[in-house]
Amino acid sequence: MHRHFPHYSGGIKVLYLKFGFLSLLCA
């Protein structure tokens, strides 16, 4: 169903992971 922008969704996931990792480092 929601497979129109698979690459876009993957990019968002990576961004969330990166921000989460940076948050842990800055915490």
CA-CA distances (angstroms) from residue 20 to 2, 13, 26? 25, 11, 10
- CA–CA separation, 24 vs 1, rounded Å? 34
> What single letter denotes the amino acid at residue 13?
K
User: Which of these, 18, 17, 15, 23, lies nearest to 7 by C-alpha position?
Assistant: 15
Confidence band (pLDDT; 50, 70, 90) for 6?
A: low
Confidence band (pLDDT; 50, 70, 90) for 3?
A: low
Confidence band (pLDDT; 50, 70, 90) for 16?
A: confident
% of the chain surpassing 70 pLDDT: 63
Average pLDDT, whole number, for the chain? 76
